[in-house]
Amino acid sequence: IRRRSDAFNSKEELKALEKWKNWKVKVEEDQIKEPRPSIVAPKATWMSDGTHWPGTWSVPCTHHSKGDHASVIQVLLDPPGDE
C-alpha cells in the first residue's frame, strides 16, 4: 500500500506542478490576474482501484490515522446478518 500510495502521490504532485506551470504561462501571455494554484498536492493513501483516502498514516488528517481503522477491520470480519 505504501509503495502504491507513494507512486500515486508523486503522480498527483506532477499534475499539480503542471497545472502551476500552465497557470504561469497563461498569466504571462494574457496578463490575467487569477489566484495561483497550489504546487503541493495533499498526500493520500491510495487503494488498488485508484480511489484514495485523504491523509496518510505518516501525515494523518481527521479520521485517518494509524489507530482509526479498527472499525473497518471489525466490519470486514463480522459481515452483516439478515437484519
Domain assignment present for 47: yes
Supply the DSSP string of 48-77, one letter for each residue: TTS-EEEB-SSS-BTTBSTTTTHHHHHHHH
Residue 69 has pLDDT above 60, yes or no: no
How many folded domains does the chain comprise?
Answer: 1
Name 64's Cβ contacts closer than 8 Å, sequence gap at least 6: 45, 53, 54, 55, 56
| pLDDT tens by residue, 5-60 | 788 888 888 888 888 888 777 766 666 666 676 777 777 777 777 777 666 555 65
Domain assignment present for 83: no
Domain containing residue 23: 2-77
Domain assignment present for 36: yes
**Bridge partners of 75?**
none
Tell me the pTM: 0.51
Domain assignment present for 68: yes
Residue 79: the pLDDT is 60
